[in-house]
Amino acid sequence: MYLTKEEEGILNGAQGPVMERMMRLLVNLGDIYGADKMISVGSVQVAGVSYKSIGDPGTEFLEDMASKGAKVKVLTFLNPAGMDLEDWESLGFPKDFAKNQLRIMDAFKSMGIIVTSTCTPYLAGNLPRFREHIAWSESSAVAFVNSVIAARTNREGGPSALAAALLGKTPNYGLHLDENRRPHFLVDVSAHLKSDSDFGALGWHIGKIVKDKTPYFKGLPDWTTTDHLKALGAAMAASGAVALYYAEDLTPEAHLHDTQGLEKIFVDDKEIKATYDALNSGEVPDIVIMGCPHASVRDIQRVADLLEGKTLRKPLWICTSRMAKEVANRMGYTETIEQAGGKIVADTCMVVSPIETMGYKVTACTSGKAAQYLPGFCKQKVVFNDVESLIKEVT
């Protein structure tokens, strides 16, 4: 792989051992995947933030980097942490866990990383431009920005994203290149999609079939919103490893691709119904958690409207970014939701927070991605349904 003089110098230790190690990591990755050179990235999003995911070894690694003066070169955001970074105590997050989570956030902050923790950075102040090269690691955000914005990123791991942030570069391979962005399957949707969870179910079903390949959707309704597309991509990235999809007339590069000759997948109502059956493993929820990927302001507004004047019989969380929560506070949505007995929980989510240690065994959600991960990561049985039905069930 071609390296500039400066890059070669970094690899030989000219900028100290931390940068040398980071450059070595990216060069090794580039060599494995056949990159021809390094390219500059416009922004980075780093995963591996929750103490639940990285534990003591990850925390010590980050503190070590920070103590050696590591500083990021480009706008860098973080994936959800293991708790609400401000309201963790009132929400019942364990104290020991909080202490360690705050150590992690301090280390990131001293590296110059913006310590807002969200899987929807594109809704919270880190919006890439069309065809911009970036290095992001949260799989749902990768699917969103590659597809809905047509920015360009591989599915980075936590360490490779951190290296990209410190160097401002990434190896040029995979989805940075035109030839790897062609669709492989044509998904013909005749199912009558009605809700966010239907888009999650569709995504979960397709991710299982296409795995890490690129699907091209035809037949998605013209009322499809960015919230529906984030639900769709997140579920495909979780049940499969989809990092890019196209949707006819809905995503910006869809018209560039010829779908003649692609292998076809047909989806009608019976596949969607079968997916609901497959994802539902629980019956009566202990808690309802929405916001996977993190809820947009519109998602929160909808829940607030549905909860107006009602009282919840079970806890309800809406996971979101700190920015969206601020708007919800200002608009009175937080007050409406709290009056019903619910909470808006920022900076974290149902999968990376330690809900299994907080007394919950059955979690209800509207997300195909959460329904995929809750059993394994959080030992939860799952109730998967649309927002209206879940709220009806617990009020």
Residues that bind ligand F3S (CB under 6 A): 79-80, 119, 138, 140, 234, 292-294, 319, 349, 351-352, 369-370, 373
Residue type, 247: A
When the beta carbons of 176 and 294 are compared against ligand F3S, the nearer one is 294
Q: Which alpha helices (H) appear in the chain, and where do they start and end? A: 5-11, 17-33, 51-67, 95-110, 139-144, 158-167, 196-210, 226-239, 269-279, 297-307, 322-331, 333-340, 368-378, 387-394
Q: What's the closest the beta carbon of residue 147 comes to ligand F3S, in angstroms?
A: 15
When the beta carbons of 169 and 205 are compared against ligand F3S, the nearer one is 205
Q: What's the closest the beta carbon of residue 117 comes to ligand F3S, in angstroms?
A: 9
Q: What's the closest the beta carbon of residue 118 comes to ligand F3S, in angstroms?
A: 8
Distance of CA 245 to CAs 20, 152, 229, Å? 35, 12, 10
Q: What's the closest the beta carbon of residue 230 comes to ligand F3S, in angstroms?
A: 8
Q: What's the closest the beta carbon of residue 143 comes to ligand F3S, in angstroms?
A: 10
User: How far apart, in whole angstroms, are the C-alpha atoms of residue 197 and residue 131?
Assistant: 29
3-state helix, strand, coil in the chain (%, to 5): 45, 15, 35
Please report the DSSP string for 180-240 in residue order.
G----EEEEE-S---SHHHHHHHHHHHHHHHTTS-EEEE---TT--HHHHHHHHHHHHHHS
User: How far apart, in whole angstroms, are the C-alpha atoms of residue 315 and residue 164?
Assistant: 39
Contact of 358 with 92, CB cutoff 8 Å: yes
Q: What's the closest the beta carbon of residue 122 comes to ligand F3S, in angstroms?
A: 12
Q: What's the closest the beta carbon of residue 353 comes to ligand F3S, in angstroms?
A: 9
When the beta carbons of 82 and 159 are compared against ligand F3S, the nearer one is 82
When the beta carbons of 74 and 349 are compared against ligand F3S, the nearer one is 349
User: How far apart, in whole angstroms, are the C-alpha atoms of residue 135 and residue 284?
Assistant: 40
For 281, the token pair is 């493993």
When the beta carbons of 22 and 351 are compared against ligand F3S, the nearer one is 351
Q: What's the closest the beta carbon of residue 207 comes to ligand F3S, in angstroms?
A: 13
Contact of 382 with 279, CB cutoff 8 Å: yes
When the beta carbons of 137 and 214 are compared against ligand F3S, the nearer one is 137
